[in-house]
Structure 1
Amino acid sequence: MSDTQTLIENRPPSVAALFVQRVEATPDLEAYRHPVPAADGQGPDEWKSLSWGQAAERVYAIAAGLADLGVTSEQRVALSSSTRIEWILADLGVMCAGGATTTIYPQTNAEESAYILGDSESRVLFAENAAQLAKARERRAELPELQHVVVFDAAGAEPVEGDPEGWVLTLAELEARGTAYLAKHPDAIKERIAAITSTQLATLIYTSGTTGRPKGVRLPQDNWSYMAKAIAATGLISGEDVQYLWLPLAHVFGKVLTSGQIEVGHVTAVDGRVDKIIENLPVVQPTYMASVPRIFEKVYNGVAAKAREAGGAKYKIFQWAAEVAREYAKVSQDNFRRTGKASVPFGLGAKHKVADALVFAKIREAFGGRLRAAVSGSAALAPEIGFFFSGAGIHILEGYGLTETSAASFVNPGEAYRTGTVGKPLPGLEVRIADDGEILLRGPGIMEGYHKLPEKTAEVLESDGWFHTGDIGELSPDGYLRITDRKKDLIKTSGGKYIAPAEVEGQFKAVCPFVSNILVLGADRNFCTALIALDEPAILGWAKDHGVTGSYAEVVAHQETVALIEGYVKRLNEGLQRWQTIKQFRLLPRDLDVEHGELTPSLKLKRPVVERQYKELIDEMYSGAKEA
């Protein structure tokens, strides 16, 4: 048996047990950093640290507080909050109490929040602030199981007339109850942790469905223990790392990062405020971080926009450097694949050295200057953007997984990463490509099933453990997976041609620095069209330089803007097969967003929602039109 197999197979039954092991091994080492706003509300945030021992003190107090509230084995405790240190402490507290965490995005409206709380039968809710408390209070009559709400930010979240006694607590009050409980029952939490079995429910994550009600994905304790060990076995992270964690912890991608950290024991800086990412990176100076493609696209568009604003010569230098970066990345990756060395010809190396001094070094500094690798997941990263960052020294390791597979199924292996693929399977995972190209997976990270939905479970999970991902992909002879599209998103034109819209959309993001989101259409039509939303700062910067005035909606409606984007559509079409080409497009009057339900909280496109929202524009593109 290999060392890797031993590591994976000799895993503890729960994350709680894993956490105890970590705390006992390194109680005094730094575990977490988190921002505390300046007292005057004006200055920069102050970053504070928690050691593993200090974190454990709070986690066990929370666990004991939950036990005092009557939470028992596998009972659900919901968490509705943005990513912050309290989210992690509360989640670990739930698991150490033997309960199961139900995650809710803070952006979720009152109706859907109530559905998740009711369907999961959650007994306690951790609410971030008064706004999250108000949603639960509004629907309290529909939630007989919900006994208590514990609020992180107490301001404005006091009990009101009509609340049952003890229904609203602050986190500090819960921890105080826990401390008192432990004084009477000092071994209570240790005993609870020791009693947790590997098959016990740990987490219930509701997938944000594009239609209908979300489904609760049941992930047992063993899923997270396996993930922790498998992530460690990849060798991608070490105890010396500093991770910057901003991803939504309500999403499985953010959640799995907490398990890997506990196993390896590195530092995690936690701050879910997306608008603070650019400001935080130079302060935190992470050695690795995980992200979604949209963040890298925004950075790329921002760098291109700054270069354009700086004037003709600087923009030409940037464009030249971008081409050098892509060529350098492609050649070095290809040589590494063939020879095991990421070498490039002398001439290309010399050009890269100049481009590095002029452009790339500044990009690395913007990421904090120490970033060894970034993991990208949740959606496809346009390969040309991946190659750009690779050549600039920001190594983006794409990975792949679903909520139903506990997030991490594939990841690119360090130096041997290949842009445009999602890498190799994690240790212990089996993979098979079905006759129709669908990716099937089997292993310890696969869900138990959908909560209270046996028929839906049977649709995707075979009796022998094979899970149908719904994604189409190809495996290389040496085990690298390339995702081509969602099975349900493949477009079949009326001419019988199949098109993968994500592939076309990714290519457009690589050629057009102004795009924010694009939706390619064409199912059962005789040609393809696109709805395009532009990146507001980038397009308004261009508009200012070109004398186009007005609001975002007015700028995108201007004929000069339409002509600009038409030029990029023509460039895109030059690299496509005839039946893939975009014959018509429309610019949207605003960007797509989570608030309007067009993007999931992890920034994935909800195609049916966008198509319904802009049906008139789509009909307009196809009304009486013929293929060019």
Structure 2
Amino acid sequence: MQIKRLFDFPKYQLENFPREDALVTKHNGEWVKTSTQSFVDQANAISRGLISLGVQPHDKIAIISSVNRTEWNIVDIGIMQTGAQDVPIYPTISEEDYQYVLNHSESKYIFVSDDEVRDKVMSIKDQVPSLIEVYSFNDIKGCKSWNEVKELGASQEHQEELEKRMAAISEDDLATLIYTSGTTGRPKGVMLSHKNIASNAITSAGRLPLEMGQSKALSFLPVCHIYERMLQYMYTYTGTGIYFAESIETISDNLKEIKPEVMSAVPRLLEKVYDKIIAKGTDLTGIKKKLFFWAVELGLEWEPYGANGWWYEKKLGIAKKLIFSKWQEALGGNLLAIASGSAALQPRLARVFNAAGVPVMEGYGLTETSPVISVNDLREGGFKIGTVGKLLPNTDVQIADDGEIIINGPQRMLGYFKDPEKTAEAIDENGYFHTGDIGEIDSEGFLKITDRKKEMFKTSGGKYIAPQLIENTMKQSRFIEQIMVIGEGEKMPAAFIQPNFEFLEDWAERKGIKFKDKKDLCSQERVKERFQQDIDTFNEKFGKWERIKKFELTPEAWTIEDGHLTPTLKLKRRIIKARYADLYNAIYGDSKI
């Protein structure tokens, strides 16, 4: 069969690669498998149940889940088959944002994962006139269960109506509304069609070295974000079993249990994995420690396709046997690809993980592009360190006069829901979406991202500063967890730094530095001097006008919950700058910010 709509994916798998473990979630310590046939049957029952409830084409139904799980995927397909559209929502956003998104989308029903999410919804339910009922995946006293919807659709009573509705849905029809987390202002509802996402899943599959019908994937990035969601359709298309991690804390254990061939990650996670590996290496002694760091240094020189020559490859073979094989085992031992997205990946991490036999493929895209525009391919000629790979088939990317990346293709969104003005700002008269990213395409066709157009700024001396490039370099310091470069309109660039408190506290204890709390630790002169050492080292990579001249340490962690970061771990720059106005003034004097 030909896939045109998103709900065609499970049926395609059933025809071509039926699995007993199409979707797998852990319950009470046991991995519970849902077969492809059961996936299709349950989705149909949800569809018939929703029709019984009076759901009409173009109605909106929200899904809010704290973790990825089998039920999410079944409900997702079940909603879309009725001609309605689903509205996935991040569980971590504020009640105020819940209220805005539910009202803006006019959602009629909500499926929630647990009592915590349900309580947040119920706290604003009275302010959402369109909302009829809330259903839960978990058993919650006083809340209707999602099983009630399935039971409503258990009979074949509405099957004929369901068939008519599915037949009437075209690939160009709206499939879902995804509200961007945004670093400023209200979230925007990105309208993505079936074709937008389906074409992206099918063409992206060509970049992954997966054996059709034979692989397993570990899923843990939020499926309410288009990146992980698109990948799950791609996994279904390739006959890959999807295993849902219990939580971000259990990923290490889940990897060893499942032994997947593929998973996705964001650079921040890879940075944390690398830092933990290095910390373990630092605790070694004698010849073991020397061998460990010899292997790491070798890995940091890695180039694809044996470009470093036979002698390097010979040494790398020894390093893999003695050191890197343990890294592979810790990640399950079978990984063929880690798809990295959402933010820029430090080249050193791409080098060392690939050298270790843990292939990391960096890609690039946005919610508005469903999301993938380009991605590296580990096969011959498709991989280059420091780039986000070659463009997907049928993707047209141009570099505008000011360096901005603009894109057209089957994955480009329909527009922003109820917002023709913002849609017109984002999509020009020729149909190109303006990404807001600055980049270039090299002579071999590889795309490189240099910065965010909106985040670049000028100092008072008229020099342009590209903060992401500087931040990504500085984060190579084990002392730095997060960093935000500041200085727009000021005489020099500076930075707010959130220390890696776990590492910093351990270092301070080893150095005999006494401190009462994090605030006290951040204020100590010896601590600031140690940060200055690393900043001085990394500053050498930049022009004099780009170098961090001053910095201030923030005494608390930057989190999604406290509003420093978006759910995809991007910096909310305006909020961070306002929150640390006192530190800003300590750097620049009494400025208005």
TM-score by length of 2: 0.94
Aligned to 1:202: 175
- Residue 55 in 1 paired to residue 39 in 2? yes
> What does 1:4-83 correspond to in 2, within 5 Å?
12-37=3-28, 45-82=29-66, 83=68
> Where do residues 136-151 of structure 1 align in structure 2 (5 Å cutoff)?
136-151=121-136
- Tell me, in whole angstroms, the C-alpha distance in 2 between the residues paired with 1:260 and 1:286: 15
Deviations 1:386-407 (CA, angstroms, capped at 9, x unpaired): 2121222222111011011111
2:321 counterpart letter in structure 1 = A
Question: Which stretch has the larger CA shift, 543-552 or 581-590?
Answer: 543-552
1:569 aligns with 2:554: no
Q: After the TM superposition, which residues 319-398 of structure 1 pair with which residues of structure 2 at under 5 Å, given as runs?
A: 319-327=293-301, 329-330=302-303, 333=304, 336=305, 342-398=306-362
Q: Do the aligned residues in 1 keep the contact of 2:377 with 2:389 (CA within 8 Å)?
A: yes
Aligned to 1:279: 253
Instruction: Name the structure 1 match of 2:262.
Output: 288
Instruction: Give yes or no for contact 1:77–1:101 (8 Å, CA) kept in 2.
Output: yes
Deviations along 1:556-592, one digit per CA (max 9) or x if unpaired, are 3333332222111111112221111111111211221
The 5-angstrom pairing of residues 141-220 of structure 1 reads 141-156=126-141, 158=142, 168-180=143-155, 182=156, 184-220=157-193
SS of the counterpart of 1:357? helix
State how far apart, in whole Å, the 1-side matches of 2:566 and 2:250 are: 20
AA of the residue aligned to 2:60 = R
Seen in structure 2, the aligned counterparts of structure 1 residues 60 and 317 have a Cα distance that, compared at 3 Å, is same
Residues paired across the two proteins, number: 586
Change (3 A) 1:354 1:21: closer
Q: CA deviation at 1:603?
A: 1.1
1:620 to 557, 562, 586: 586
Which residue of structure 2 lines up, in the alignment, with residue 161 of structure 1?
Answer: none
**Deviation (angstroms), 1:302:** 1.0
Match of 2:216 in 1: 242
Distance 1:15 1:478 in 2: 33
Contact 2:22 / 2:34 at 8 angstroms: preserved in 1?
yes
Distance 1:272 1:260 in 2: 21
Tell whether the 8 Å contact from 1:440 to 1:466 is kept in structure 2 after alignment.
Answer: yes
Supply the distance in 2 between the matched residues of 1:590 and 1:80 (Cα, whole angstroms): 28
- Higher mean Cα deviation, 307-316 or 591-600? 307-316
Determine the C-alpha separation between the residues in 2 that align with 1:450 and 1:436.
24
- Alignment-derived partner of residue 124 in structure 1: 109
Structure-2 residue corresponding to 1:406? 370
**Aligned equivalents of 1:52 and 1:63: distance in 2?**
17
Aligned partners of 2:403 and 2:2: how far apart in 1?
33
- Structure 1 stretch 402-411 or stretch 264-273: which is displaced more? 264-273
* C-alpha distance in structure 1 between counterparts of 2:59 and 2:310, whole Å: 63
Task: State whether residues 153 and 170 of structure 1, in contact with CA within 8 Å, keep that contact through their aligned partners in structure 2.
Answer: yes
Is the alpha carbon distance of 1:363 and 1:548 closer, same or farther for their aligned partners in structure 2, counting shifts above 3 Å? farther
* Counterpart Cα distance in 2 of 1:435 and 1:560: 47
| TM-fit CA distance, 1:496 | 1.5
Conserved in 2, the CA contact under 8 Å of 1:128 and 1:151? yes
CA distance in 2, matches of 1:466, 1:255: 24
Distance change >3 Å, CA 60–CA 485, structure 1 → 2: same
Amino acid at match of 1:90: V
From 200, 205, 223, the counterpart of 1:232: 205
> Partner of 2:38: helix, strand, or coil?
helix
For 1:540 and 1:364, the matched residues in 2 are separated by: 29
The answer to whether the Cα contact below 8 Å between 1:378 and 1:602 also exists between their aligned partners in 2 is yes
The DSSP-based 3-state class of the residue aligned with 1:561 is helix
Q: What 5-or-longer segments of structure 1 have no aligned partner?
A: 1-9, 38-44, 159-167, 337-341
Question: How has the CA–CA distance of structure 1 residues 549 and 80 changed in structure 2, closer, same or farther, with 3 Å as cutoff?
Answer: farther
Say whether the 8 Å CA contact 1:11–1:229 is kept in structure 2. Answer: no
For residue 175 of structure 1, report the CA deviation from its aligned partner: 1.2
- The percentage of counterpart residues that share the same residue type is 36
Q: Partner of 1:598 in structure 2?
A: 564
Asked whether the 8 Å contact 1:13–1:196 carries over to 2, the reply is: no
- Superposed, 1:520-599 pairs within 5 Å as 520-550=485-515, 551-599=517-565
Answer whether contact 1:302 1:538 (CA < 8 A) is retained: no
- State the distance in 2 between where 1:312 and 1:619 align: 48
RMSD: 2.0
Q: Is 2:432 the counterpart of 1:459?
A: no
Offset, 1:312: 7.1
Amino acid in structure 2 at the alignment position of 1:560:
R
Return closer, same or farther for 1:36/1:75 CA change in 2, 3 Å cut-off: same
Confirm whether residue 503 of structure 1 aligns to residue 469 of structure 2: yes
| More moved, 424-433 vs 358-367 | 358-367
In structure 1, which of residues 297, 308, 315 is the aligned counterpart of residue 282 of structure 2? Answer: 308
Whole-Å separation in 1 of the counterparts to 2:288 and 2:509: 18
Describe the superposition over 1:295-330 as per-residue Cα deviations: whole angstroms up to 9, x where unpaired. Answer: 000011111122223357655544332221011x13
Structure 2 counterpart of 1:103: 88
Structure 2 residues not aligned, in runs of 5+ = none
SS state at 1:108 partner? coil
CA deviation after TM superposition for structure 1 residue 593, in Å: 0.7
CA-to-aligned-CA distance 1:87-123 (integer Å, 9 cap, x gap): 1111111112221110110111211101100100111
Secondary structure at the aligned position of 2:51 is classed as helix
